[in-house]
Amino acid sequence: MMASLIFVASLATLWMFFVSYCRSLMASSSRHPLSAEVRDVTGIRTVASAGDYRRVMQLLQLCPERREERNKLQAVNIYHSFLSGTRQMFAWIVPSLRSWAEHEQAGCAYFAAVALDRRIAHNREMLAQQDNP
């Protein structure tokens, strides 16, 4: 009885800290405006939607990666999968969870779009350096 109580309480705090931790990782990119070409290529105008994530991730895979953002992207990817799982498993019990999870997934999509923007800018810079040594 006691063990199950501790288990449930610790799962609840684990969920809360995990969500806040992922949000703190994404917080740095939330104020970063997207460039016009990333907006064109991803279809994100001002606000991203939950459905944009997969497309942006596919685009990210086409672009050579930057080492410094790899861990953050992995963490956000885990967060996105966790949100998908939460949506599928619990949305029928708590309907407000669906809109909350979609809002969070939109945040993940925007974070990925900002990462794409930074990758494109970085690669462009590298190319310019190669052209003008």
Partner 1 sequence: MPGPIDLIIWFLGTAFELAFVVCSLARKSFLRYFFLNLYLLLSTTVSIGRFFILWSYGQRSGQYMYFYFYSDALLTVALFVALISLYSHVLGELTAGEYVKWGAVFLLLGTAGFSYAVVAQSANRLSTNFAYELSQNLYFVGLVLTYILWGAVLKLRETRTRLVQIILSLGLYFSAYAASYALLNFSGKFSMMRYICPALGCFLPLSWSLTMLRYTDESRLVPARLVAVPR
Which residues of the chain form contacts with partner 1 (CB under 8 A)? 3-4, 6-7, 9-11, 13-21, 23-24, 26-28, 30, 68, 71-72, 100
Distance separating alpha carbons of residues 13 and 8, to the nearest angstrom = 9
Q: Tell me whether residue 24 or residue 132 sits nearer to partner 1 (CB atom).
A: 24
Distance between CA atoms of residues 18 and 96, nearest Å: 19
Q: Provide, rounded to whole angstroms, the least separation between the CB of residue 1 and partner 1.
A: 11
Q: Tokens 């703190």 — which residue?
A: 24
Q: 3-class SS at 94?
A: coil
- Closest contact distance (angstroms) between CB of 110 and partner 1 is 12
Q: Which two tokens stand for residue 126?
A: 């590298």
Please provide the DSSP assignment of 18-48 as one string: HHHHHHHHHHTTTTPPPPHHHHHHH---SS-
Please say which residue, 17 or 92, places its beta carbon nearer to partner 1.
Answer: 17
Q: Which is nearer to partner 1, 26 or 34 (CB)?
A: 26
Nearer to partner 1, 90 or 124 (CB): 90
Least distance in angstroms from the C-beta of 36 to partner 1:
25
